[in-house]
Structure 1
Amino acid sequence: MLRIFFFLFLTVFDSPAIFAQQGPPEGLALDINVVQIVLNDEHRDGVDWEAIVSDFHMLPLKKEDNSFWMDKRYHLSAGTVSAEDYAVLLDALDTVGKMSQIPQDSVHLTVDEPLAATLSLGEGKEQTVRLGLRFASSANAGPSITIDPTIGVIFKDGGKPPVALTLKTHTQAAVKDNTVIVLGGLTEETEITKTHKFPILGNLPLVGLVFRNQGRWMQKTETVIFLIPRVEAVAAQQPPPPPQTQ
């Protein structure tokens, strides 16, 4: 069984255009939506993010203590979609499996003040997601978000004791009006056991064992995180009125 612990560290740089229109930013609101998809048999490889998002790039995950280590099974898919396409995408994800949304509380960041936020992934889930956040602003730099995910993986390999790995990667995403940042491709497999009983005969003591089928299969789930930044700006200061003359 695979357990995944997902940590994100973001540094946000604000847009010069906002300074010109609304004055210096007061902070940043980050809306977060977590989506989990139990993939169907036709989409066992996960969502094809390269065909969906803009600015697509694959992020290989590497060991915290060994930057040369890499396994193609461990990666994230990053990109962006417009706010309009985001609404359509949520509906379309139902076609690749059973989807559930887990909305999170919005995070409000103040300039240069770090903030840690732990996300909820629903009851009974062994996955946890924690965000370490920092908001920075510059009148000269364009808007962007630096994202440094840290993923802790605990998995069992046959009869061997569980092994813990800490995996990391790094990316940057531009912040644009009505743009949603997408982090997908985080998958896990869980062994599922199900017993099927034939009517009546399957309930008989001893003899009923012959009329029961027990099946096992690996259920694959993909977790997707959507980040929706909203700049909170203050109105530009107006010059004081000229002194009145008598």
Structure 2
Amino acid sequence: GNRPPQLFPETGDDVLGGENLSAGDTPVSASNTVVSANLSVKIVADEATNSLLIRSTARDYRQLLTTISQLDVVPLQVMVNAVIAQITLNDETRFGVDWSRIADNAALAPISTSTSTNFVPNLGGLMFSKGFLDGSARVEATLDAIAVNNDVRLLARPSLTVSNNQEGEIQIGAEVPVEAGQSIGTGGVSTTNIQYRPTGIELYITPQINEDGVVNLIIRQVLSSVDNSSAGVNNNPVFNNQEISTTVVVRNGENIVLGGLIQTDTELLNTGVPLLNRIPGVGNLFSYQQDNTERRELFIVLRPEIINLNAEGGVQYSDILDRFELASELFEDLNVQ
């Protein structure tokens, strides 16, 4: 019988057989994509099987394998662990929590802190501050210092894994129906079109990992709620929106605190003497109305951890979750609601 072809012919002929490509050769394929084509190398990518079909000399093939092995790696990922909580402000903190002062009182001088103030019409004062806390012990002491004179309520403890340079989203809240318009169908029947608008907390995070292990976080934080004190067109709800965008540089495993989104809720309370306050004409003498105003500040603790599945002994998901489990214990120790 015929001698079977060699995979790597020592003569330098094309691997996998066939003829050398000429400058005018153009591979025809409906599903494959030509990655590279020249006089000595032809590479066709098959997306369906995630594979490469290569025609080259043995020497070029070995060089290609080296290049492919460097490119064919699992992308770096970042697991972002978050603690989202809310503070009910009192007389001492009516303008918001001074994070730098809290850190100083807890003997936790922040590594870096920046504060900016913006005022948004009809939303009251909106102040955004960010600070860095190095290590879980500092997070514990800072939260402990806040809870001494404030009512702290834990809202969520989500975890999110995001590929490098990709955007991840955390959304906590509800969707509110809003009338988007009306349409006239067959027979003159009017149909109301309803759209749903998300409310609550929206957190968008895009991590960018540097070579030295530093994580650049592009963060967009949105806080929205329904304004019960007013009504919009066609009795649609009116929404209060607070949005902040920032970029921070964080070391791997370092905590960052985002705070400053303050909400003010006013509730009208009707109280009075039972039965007497319902007597027509004189009921107002036995009842009164009182406005109850409550101010709350939202703060978020973020901790990014780089996940490198290509490195031996690299950080794995289970390791990160075990280390961040401390956040749950902190709030339980603080007796937060």
Query: Normalising by the residue count of structure 2, what TM-score does the alignment of the two structures yield?
Result: 0.49
User: Partners of 1:38 and 1:110 in 2: how far apart?
Assistant: 35
What is the letter of the counterpart of residue 128 of structure 1? G
Give 1:87-236 correspondences, 5 Å limit.
87-112=140-165, 114-121=166-173, 127-139=199-211, 141=212, 143-149=214-220, 151=222, 168-177=244-253, 179-198=254-273, 205-206=279-280, 207-234=282-309, 236=311
> Where does residue 4 of structure 1 map in the other structure?
none
What is the letter of the counterpart of residue 90 of structure 1? L
User: Partners of 2:94 and 2:276 in 1: how far apart?
Assistant: 32
Deviation, 1:209, is: 3.5
RMSD of Structure 2 on Structure 1 (CA): 3.9
Judging changes above 3 Å, is the alpha-carbon distance between structure 1 residues 170 and 188 closer, same or farther for their aligned structure 2 residues? same
* SS of equivalent to 1:47: coil
What is the letter of the counterpart of residue 28 of structure 1? V
Contact 1:61–1:169 (CA<8 Å) still a contact in 2? Answer: no
Deviation, 1:142, is: 5.1
> Where does residue 116 of structure 2 map in the other structure?
59
User: Partners of 1:166 and 1:196 in 2: how far apart?
Assistant: 33
What is the letter of the counterpart of residue 219 of structure 1? E
Contact 2:202–2:222 (CA<8 Å) still a contact in 1? Answer: no
What is the letter of the counterpart of residue 141 of structure 2? V
Which residues of structure 2 form unaligned runs of 5+?
Answer: 1-73, 104-109, 177-197, 233-237, 314-337
* SS of equivalent to 2:95: coil
Contact 1:104–1:120 (CA<8 Å) still a contact in 2? Answer: no
> Where does residue 106 of structure 2 map in the other structure?
none
Cα deviation code 1:9-60 (max 9, x no counterpart) = xxxxxxxxxxxxxxx9742111111111121223211111121341110134
Deviation, 1:176, is: 4.4
User: Partners of 1:171 and 1:56 in 2: how far apart?
Assistant: 13
User: Partners of 2:230 and 2:155 in 1: how far apart?
Assistant: 34
Judging changes above 3 Å, is the alpha-carbon distance between structure 1 residues 183 and 62 closer, same or farther for their aligned structure 2 residues? same
* SS of equivalent to 1:42: coil
What is the letter of the counterpart of residue 248 of structure 2? Q
Contact 1:59–1:169 (CA<8 Å) still a contact in 2? Answer: no
Cα deviation code 1:186-208 (max 9, x no counterpart) = 1021112223334x575663455
User: Partners of 2:293 and 2:142 in 1: how far apart?
Assistant: 26
Cα deviation code 1:46-87 (max 9, x no counterpart) = 111121341110134599xxxxx9x99333110112311212
* SS of equivalent to 1:134: strand
Deviation, 1:122, is: 7.9
Higher relative contact order (CA 8 A, sep 6+): 1
What is the letter of the counterpart of residue 295 of structure 2? K
Cα deviation code 1:178-234 (max 9, x no counterpart) = x31100011021112223334x57566345542222111432110001101122233
- Highest Rg: 1 or 2? 2
Cα deviation code 1:86-132 (max 9, x no counterpart) = 123333323343221012321001223x23323315899x8533233
> Where does residue 97 of structure 2 map in the other structure?
47
User: Partners of 2:91 and 2:276 in 1: how far apart?
Assistant: 28
> Where does residue 191 of structure 2 map in the other structure?
none
More helix by share: 2
User: Partners of 1:142 and 1:76 in 2: how far apart?
Assistant: 27
User: Partners of 2:88 and 2:96 in 1: how far apart?
Assistant: 9
> Where does residue 77 of structure 1 map in the other structure?
129
Matched, 1:27 2:56: no
Contact 2:264–2:294 (CA<8 Å) still a contact in 1? Answer: yes
Judging changes above 3 Å, is the alpha-carbon distance between structure 1 residues 50 and 121 closer, same or farther for their aligned structure 2 residues? farther
> Where does residue 320 of structure 2 map in the other structure?
none
Cα deviation code 1:146-197 (max 9, x no counterpart) = 33435477898x98976977754433232244x3110001102111222333
* SS of equivalent to 1:51: helix
Q: In the comparison of the two structures, how many residue pairs are matched?
A: 203
Query: Normalising by the residue count of structure 1, what TM-score does the alignment of the two structures yield?
Result: 0.64
